[in-house]
Amino acid sequence: MRAFAPRPDAKPVDPKATMNAEYVRDLLASPTDLVLKELAIGAEGERVVVCCIDGLVDRTLVDERLLRPLMSKAPLDEAVIASPGFLVWLQDSVLPLQGASLANDLNEAVDALLAGDTVLFSDASRQALVVSSQGWKTRSIEEPQTEAIIRGPRDGFTEEIRTNTSLIRKRIRDHNLRMVSKVIGRRARKELVVAYVEGIVNPELLKEVMRRIDTLDMDDFEGSGFVEQWLADHPLSPFPTITSTERPDKVTGALLQGRIALIVEGTPFQLIVPATFTTFFQSPEDYYQNWYITTTLRVLRYLAAFIATFLPALYIALLEYHHGMLPSKLAFSLAGSREGVPFPAVVEALLMEVTLELLREAGIRLPKPIGQTIGIVGGLVIGEAAVAAGIVSPIMVIIVSITAITSFALPAYSFAISLRLLRFFIMLCAAVFGLYGIILAYIAINVHVVNLQSFGVPYTTPIAPTFLQDWKDFLFRAPVMQMSKRPEMMQTVENKRMKERE
Amino acid sequence: MKPFDYADAKIGTREMAILISSIILGVGVLTMPRSIAQITKSSDGWVSILIAGAIAIFFALIASKLASKFPGRTFYEFASSVVTKPIAIVITAAFSAYFIGYGAYETRMIANISKQYLFDQTPVEVIAFVFIAVMAYSVSGTQIALLRLNVLFLPIVLFILLFVLVFSTNLFEVNHLKPFFVTKSFDLIGASKESVFSFLGFEMVLFYAFLMRKPAKAPIASVIGVLIPLVLYLLVYIIAIGVFTNEGTANVQYPTVELAKEVELPGEFFERFESLFFTIWIMTVFNTASISIDVALACMRSILVSVRKPVAISGIIPVVYFIGMTPQTIGEVSLFGEWLSYIGIVLVGVVPTSLLIVSKARGIKGNG
């Protein structure tokens, strides 16, 4: 059953069914998709009103399970129809339904109605029967678009919170898996499920997460973005301090490490807290592959992050300030290729980087088939033509391409985006102060990063503060037998996750 | 909010050792082989470095013993309980002034060396200004974050230094080191005075021990913290002499950076490796400088409790800048550094020792 926040403006259910139906219709200003079906059952013409919103409910369910038993000529007990216990009797003995409950408050019933439940009023009863009948059109489970991997499960979260929670339940069949529902959003009134494993999660962390969630107060959280930004320790930082993912296996992995997942209704992107710097370099696939493959890939990703952030800046610095640092042959070929380019390296680099970002942005907007074309036109034709026209040097095109490729090599999109932004900042620093500017920018970014926290966990954990035990899952991913403990940094209640080998 | 007890702004023993090493490694090591080679003959300077290291370890032990007697208390707090409040104010203010000077000196040195190795035209004033701007940013965060920065940077810095040392060994000639033991012992002592300067920084244990989870381990942390630079200094010195000979080392301004110049990388991707080395070395100098300013700030604010941190920072930073920019020539900068080091030796040698003696004599018990 869905969870509903208690409403301050409770209105008791009227004993007259049609009065209630009237109230609902007025409250919603008689919309066209509101279905009100009045049934006369029993000898005295006692009425039952069935309300639902068309499109939100599963029609066959309402027809077959609700209306058919009520309207069938099978004799309903006359004495019961007129009694206040009629609805209880219906729920317990007549209707073949799984999710049904009784509501005393009319406004609560309306909330349920708007969430896709069917509400049944009857004469002589001061309660309403709320039947869970959601059946709107949903997307089927598909492979996650933003986090594709080669080896591993292919199912991804959808917009349906029930599907999403089931994807997690399917993976963790422990009775300690907790899913606490909250209803959030003044007007959206959507559901947010806090998932964690009791007995693993640090209780203090859980308390803090709950405290922050209770402060959520807004009309609607769009996707999970608003929740993320509202709950984050440092909403002004370019670095994400909460992981968002489309992958259920990533969520379950995190839950078993002692983290907490926030499953938000209406979006396939679910949140995991806390997140540290290193978590953005981890992909679920790391655990499906052999440890040395994973270790190599991890190193490659850190390298990719470095290149994606610093390469254009290094190009600018080396070309404008420190040509002496390049071997003479390379310096000559560089200078040769730049012959005729009218701009200084900064302008050239900015020009190309902005073009790249434009292509990327345009590629998202365009319909899929044209998106491909834009890639070819932008990447190949413009690049080629720009070089031929002497606006940029071929080396610059190589630099930009490498930057683009490396930024796609990072498993976390939200993190890669921040690096993209920082790249421009560092390019400007390099343009003004060369290598000195780059190192100072690097220092400044580090100063910022060490000041970050994610739900009380310093962002640079496990490097500083140092948890050598957790380095088994950092640059180097230890063989599975060695990873017998949960991450030390999560300070879990129970820390053994497998039988330790001698 | 602090759900995790390791996030409670406390540091462990390992972090303290890293912190001390990181502070000691600053601009000192860049010039140290020269100042020793100028006094000693052949490769005998290693004796001086060892003596200096021993002295540094001795005083580091005294300072950390003193600090660990008063766990959880800042320097000013325990100083005032040992030698009454007015004297504590004077001492703390002296330390604050010294660290401002020290931060200014490091800034000026980095600006000078950057000018020499990275820039042609950019004026020193501008180079120093950006450095100080980033420093102001770093001290405006929490102290614990600053300490974590040291933990992040030290491995990178050690890596690049060892890299330089390993790759310059192909030019290393054992003959340059000979003959052994030809320097007069008086000169050895004189040279050890020079190298003691490069060990300044261990006194930080006085100001950060209150952040330690186990303050009783402060002595061992500070000994390890001094040992790491000691080993590195010995290596740098021996290799510098082995590569440049004694006379050569005595005549280059920054022998350690020049050592990096000699590095030949296989594959010939980088020339002028010294620029890269020095660029990365900026990280540790930055740490040394920003920690100095942080301690200066902390000392100042422990006396003037009502001054808020942003106000204190905006007061101190311009002072650092102007002090750093006052010396005009390289000679004046060295002179400034020398005087600063004398003051430093008095402060870090005499003050903790006398505080320890007085506290013993007066029988003051800390709570640890």
User: Would you state the pLDDT for residue B367?
Assistant: 58
Q: CA-CA distance, A121 to B322, in Å (whole number)?
A: 82
Same domain? A298 vs A264: no
Same domain? A345 vs A207: no
Pairwise CB contact (< 8 Å): A446 & B15 = no
Domain that holds residue A450: 290-454
By Cβ distance, the residue of B1, B119, B271 closest to A456 is B1
By Cβ distance, the residue of A208, A321, A460 closest to B3 is A208
pLDDT in tens, chain B (368 residues): 445 666 667 888 899 999 999 999 988 888 899 989 998 888 888 999 999 999 999 999 999 999 988 888 889 998 998 888 999 999 999 999 999 999 999 999 999 999 988 887 889 999 999 999 999 999 998 888 999 999 999 999 999 999 999 988 888 888 888 888 888 888 888 888 888 888 998 988 999 988 888 888 999 999 999 999 999 999 999 999 999 988 899 999 899 998 888 887 776 666 778 888 999 999 999 999 999 999 999 999 999 988 899 999 999 999 999 999 999 888 899 899 889 989 998 888 899 999 999 988 888 776 54
- From A306, A224, A260, A223, select the one nearest A475 (Cα to Cα): A306
Residue A436 lies in a domain: yes
Sign of the Cα pseudo-torsion (B334, B339, B344, B349, in order) = positive
User: Would you state the pLDDT for residue A492?
Assistant: 84
What mean pLDDT is reported for chain A? 87
* Domains defined for chain B, CATH in brackets: 12-349 (1.20.1740.10)
User: Would you state the pLDDT for residue A1?
Assistant: 45
In B252-272, alpha helices (H): 255-261
Pairwise CB contact (< 8 Å): A466 & B15 = yes
Which residues fall within 8 angstroms of residue A221, CB to CB, at 6 or more apart?
Answer: A184, A185, A188, A190, A227, A230, A264
Which tokens hold the place of A63? 């027809």
Residue A405 lies in a domain: yes
Residue A476 lies in a domain: no
Domain boundary among A214, A249, A275: A275
Same domain? A177 vs A256: yes
Residue A101 lies in a domain: yes
CA distance B23 to chain A (A): 16
User: Would you state the pLDDT for residue A2?
Assistant: 52
Strand partners, A260: A273
Same domain? A419 vs A315: yes
Same domain? A319 vs A444: yes
Domain boundary among A109, A131, A153: A131
Using the predicted structure, report yes or no on whether residue A239 has a pLDDT greater than 50: yes
Same domain? A72 vs A29: yes
Pairwise CB contact (< 8 Å): B134 & A437 = no
User: Would you state the pLDDT for residue A356?
Assistant: 86
Pairwise CB contact (< 8 Å): B137 & A465 = no
Helix (H) or strand (E) holding A192: strand A190-197
Pairwise CB contact (< 8 Å): A433 & B122 = yes
Same domain? A55 vs A193: no
By Cβ distance, the residue of A208, A450, A458 closest to B1 is A208
Same domain? A89 vs A195: no
How many residues are given for chain B? Answer: 368
Residue A61 lies in a domain: yes
Helix (H, G, I), strand (E, B) or coil at B354: helix
Which residues of chain A make contact with B152, given a CB cutoff of 8 A? 446, 450, 460, 463-464
User: Would you state the pLDDT for residue B2?
Assistant: 47
Residue A170 lies in a domain: yes
Residue A346 lies in a domain: yes
Kindly tell me the burial class for residue B268, based on how many C-beta atoms sit within 10 Å of its own C-beta (0-12, 13-18, 19 or more). exposed
Pairwise CB contact (< 8 Å): A458 & B2 = no
Same domain? A39 vs A79: yes
Residue type (1 letter), B15: E
Using the predicted structure, report yes or no on whether residue A4 has a pLDDT greater than 60: no
- From A308, A488, A288, select the one nearest A412 (Cα to Cα): A308
Beta-carbon pairs below 8 A across chains A and B: 122
By Cβ distance, the residue of B14, B141, B153 closest to A451 is B141
Of the spans A42-56, A235-249, B269-283, which averages the highest pLDDT?
Answer: A235-249
Same domain? A248 vs A357: no
Counting other chains too, the contacts that B123-131 makes at CB distance below 8 Å and 24 or more residues apart are: B124/B325, B125/B325, B127/A433, B127/A436, B128/B321, B128/B324, B128/B325, B129/B321, B130/A433, B130/A436, B130/A437, B130/A440, B131/A440, B131/B107, B131/B286, B131/B289
Same domain? A198 vs A342: no
Residue A280 CB coordination number (10 Å): 22
Pairwise CB contact (< 8 Å): B276 & A465 = no
Pairwise CB contact (< 8 Å): A489 & B1 = no
User: Would you state the pLDDT for residue B151?
Assistant: 92
Residue A480 lies in a domain: no
What ipTM did this prediction achieve? Answer: 0.93
Residue type (1 letter), A437: G
Cis peptide bond upstream of A462, omega within 30: yes
Q: CA-CA distance, A399 to A310, in Å (whole number)?
A: 11
Residue type (1 letter), B364: I
Per residue in A248-303, pLDDT tens? 999 999 999 999 999 999 899 999 999 999 999 999 989 998 999 999 999 999 99
B186 in reach of chain A (CB within 8 A): no
Per residue in A388-429, pLDDT tens? 888 888 888 899 889 988 988 898 888 998 999 999 999 999
Same domain? A61 vs A89: yes
User: Would you state the pLDDT for residue A295?
Assistant: 93
Q: How many domains does chain A have?
A: 3
- From B44, B28, B69, B58, select the one nearest B227 (Cα to Cα): B58
**pLDDT band (50, 70, 90) for residue A338:** confident
Sign of the Cα pseudo-torsion (B331, B333, B339, B344, in order) = negative
Residue B107 CB coordination number (10 Å): 28
Domain boundary among A275, A301, A327: A275
β-strands A243-245, A177-184: how paired? unpaired
DSSP E strands in A388-488: the ranges are 453-454, 457-458
Which residues of chain B make contact with A458, given a CB cutoff of 8 A? 7, 148
